[in-house]
Amino acid sequence: MLRLSLALLPVLLSGCGPAAPKSSTTLSVQLHFNGAPLHCSSPIDIAGQNWHLQQLQLYLSDFSLNNNALLLDPTLPHQQARLALLGSVCDNSATQSANWQVKFTRPLTPGELTFFVAVPQSLNHQDPLSAKAPLNQSDMYWSWQQGYKYLRLELAGAQQQWALHLGASGCQSASPLRPPATACAAQNRPHVRLNYQYGQNLTLDLAPLLADIALSADNHCMSDPNRLSCQTLLPRLGIEAPPLGWSMQ
């Protein structure tokens, strides 16, 4: 797994002799909270309050391995060549739209793996009704003007909900129904850099992101840099600071 703030765990080989390393075109992604796997039914203790996951989905894009572009398999419904949609949508009966794997067109080898939590700027302002999957999911979209939600995290607690939506901000156009002619003032594209070794998975731990925040309906964050809650959360996501919670294990 991949984790930014934790030391890389050694790979332990069993058997009588040395085992040959195995390469794979698939990278599994795991969601954690305080080091434990996090699922739709998992209780989450945040500042003494009990919460559970309603939705976590995020676009990962423009992968690179040792400074060489790493393209994704575009034949899968949750991927295009430059991006993949990861995550789960939870409801009372099942986990919908769950995908926690990224598949590449060539095998992974050890080295520096980098990617963005974002939709590439050239794809960010389009009509989701005509876009190819996975950019056709309407609840991951704001408007032609604002573009896509790169990350959508929603939690439910005792008679209240909390949300964090990450995307570009400061986008200017004549109408919300028109794409901007110039780049948005804040691209808000977290850049993750990790060291990959054979057999590791990519892990995202939400605990560092939400640490010491008493969540409520009044302190959600919709990527507005003027909002106090966003001023705490955006740097933790990786806006003008190293992103928290990511690791390889």
Q: Specify the pLDDT at position 96.
A: 54
Q: Are 192 and 238 in contact (CB under 8 A)?
A: yes
Task: Give me the pLDDT at residue 2, please.
Answer: 41
Q: What is the pLDDT of residue 175?
A: 80
Choose between 200 and 95: higher pLDDT: 200
pLDDT of 16 strictly over 80: no
* pLDDT score recorded for residue 177: 80
Alpha-carbon span 174 to 25, nearest angstrom: 44
The burial of 101, by beta-carbon neighbours within 10 Å (0-12 exposed, 13-18 middle, 19 or more buried), is given as middle
Any idea what the Cα angle at residue 141 is, between residues 139 and 145, rounded to 5°?
150
Question: What per-residue confidence (pLDDT) applies to 19?
Answer: 53
What is the pLDDT at residue 21? 63
Question: Does residue 190 have a pLDDT over 80?
Answer: yes
Tens of pLDDT, residues 54-108: 999 999 999 999 999 999 999 999 999 999 999 999 975 444 568 999 999 999 9
Q: How much is the average pLDDT of 5-30?
A: 58
